[in-house]
Amino acid sequence: MSHPLLAVERVSKTYPGGGSAALHDVSLHLAPGELLALTGESGSGKTTLLRLVAGLEEPDAGTVFLNGRRVEGPAGKLIAGHPDIRVVFQDFRLFPNVSVAENLRHALRQYDAAYRDRRLREMLALAKLESLKDRLPRQLSGGEQQRAALARALADEPALLLMDEPFSNLDPALRRDLRGEIGAMLAGSGCGVILVTHEPADALSMAGRVVLLRAGRVLQSGSPRDLYRRPETAYAARFFGPANLVPTGDLLPLLEGSAAGRLLATQLSPLVGRTLCLRPEHLLPSPAADAHLGGTVQAVSFYGAYEEATVALKAGLSLRVHVPVGHWQPGQPAWLRLRESAWHLLAV
Ligand code: ADP
Ligand code: MG
C-alpha cells in the first residue's frame, strides 16, 4: 500500500464526566485524494473523531498521523488545529461583511499576489461562483454559500479537508443537487476528504469508502456497495436502507412449494442458523411458475418512483418488496423470486 495521507491508529477518547468512551480503539487510513465518509447515528462519535484528526482535541490513547507526522492536540498551541488541515462546519462560517472574493482572498492572505490571484480564479471556477464573486454571503443561496465555504477551505491546497454534516442545514432538494456539485468540486480538488454525515444516502452516493461508527467503535468499513450489499450485522444492514432480515431456517419450509423454491432450498439448507439480508429491491415479483415464494399482499405504500409492498408469507413471516407503482393491490396473491446472487448472509 502506498503511504497514507492520514493514519488514525487505535484512538480512544472519554470526555471528562462522560460515562462510556466517545471513541474506543478506532483506526482508519486515508489515501491522498480519497473521499471517505464517516457515518453513524447521532452520538456515535463522528464529530469527536473529526476533532481528534484536526488536532482540536487530544486522544486519551492512540495517535493521529498526517503524512507520517503526529498531529498534536490543542495543548500549548497559539492557534488550534493543524496548518495542513481545513474544517468546513455546517454553518459555513463565511465572513458576513465582505464579498465571496474577499472571503477567498482572506484565506490566501499569506501568499504572494501571483499565487493568490491564480488560486482565486481557480476556486471561483471550481465552485462556479465567478458571476457571484462580489456578493455578500447573505446574498447567496444556501447551496452557493456551501460552495463558497468549500472554495475558501480548498483555496491554499490543504492536504486534508474535514467536513462535519455539511448538508444538515439545507433542505432535501438542495441536498440532492449539492451531493453531485460538491462531489465534483472535491474530485476536482485532489484533496483528501473526510465527510461526516448521519445520512446514509450522502455516504453511499459521495464516498469512495465508508466507515460506519456505532457507540464509538468502527462497526464496518468498505466501499459503498459492500456496506449496502454485504452488511455484516443487522445494525449495518438497517442503517443503510430497508432490509428483510430472515433466519434461513424460517425461510426453508416456505420454499417447498415450487421447483425453483426447492432448488433454492438445497442451496440454503447448509446455512441454517444464519440470517439472510434481502433488500426490498432484490425480491422480484414473478410468474407463479418461476417463483421461489408465494404469499399475499398486505399493504402498499407509495414512494414516488416505486411502491413498497408488505407481503405476508406463511408462518407469520412477512417481507418488504419494492415494485413498480400500481403493480400490486392489497389482498392480491404475490409470487416472488430472490434476485440472482443478490441475497446475502449476515456474518453474525
Ligand atoms: P456524533 O458527532 O456522531 O453525533 P459526538 O462525537 O458529538 O457524536 O459525540 C459522541 C459522544 O460523546 C456522545 O455520547 C456525546 O454525548 C459525547 N460528547 C460529545 N462532546 C462532548 C463533550 N464536549 N463533553 C462531554 N461529552 C461529549
Ligand atoms: Mg456530530
CB-ligand 1 contact for 14 (6 Å cutoff): no
Measured between alpha carbons, how far is 117 from 284 in angstroms, rounded to an integer? 57
Percent of the chain predicted with pLDDT > 90: 80
pLDDT score at 2: 62
Measured between alpha carbons, how far is 261 from 264 in angstroms, rounded to an integer? 5
Measured between alpha carbons, how far is 241 from 238 in angstroms, rounded to an integer? 5
Measured between alpha carbons, how far is 318 from 94 in angstroms, rounded to an integer? 51
- pLDDT higher than threshold 80 for residue 346: yes
- pLDDT higher than threshold 70 for residue 78: no
CB-ligand 1 contact for 48 (6 Å cutoff): yes
Query: Closest residue (by CA) to atom 13 of ligand 1?
Result: 43
Question: Which numbered atom of ligand 1 lies nearest the CA of 49?
Answer: 6
Cα 136 to ligand 1 centroid, rounded to whole Å: 34
Q: What is the CATH number of domain 244-345?
A: 2.40.50.140
Q: Could you read off the pLDDT of 308-342 as tens digits, one per residue?
A: 999 999 888 999 999 999 999 999 999 999 998 78
Cα 34 to ligand 2 centroid, rounded to whole Å: 21
Average pLDDT over the chain reads 93
Measured between alpha carbons, how far is 70 from 50 in angstroms, rounded to an integer? 15
Domain at 6-233, CATH homologous superfamily: P-loop containing nucleotide triphosphate hydrolases (3.40.50.300)
- pLDDT higher than threshold 90 for residue 190: no
Quickly tell me which residue has 459521495 as its cell: 206
Measured between alpha carbons, how far is 248 from 15 in angstroms, rounded to an integer? 42
- pLDDT higher than threshold 80 for residue 121: yes
Same fold, 6-233 and 244-345: no
Residue 202 is inside which H or E element, if any?
helix 200-206
CB-ligand 1 contact for 13 (6 Å cutoff): no
pLDDT score at 172: 84
- pLDDT higher than threshold 90 for residue 107: yes
Measured between alpha carbons, how far is 90 from 55 in angstroms, rounded to an integer? 19
Query: Closest residue (by CA) to atom 5 of ligand 1?
Result: 45
- pLDDT higher than threshold 80 for residue 81: no
Instruction: Report domain extents, the chain.
Output: 6-233, 244-345
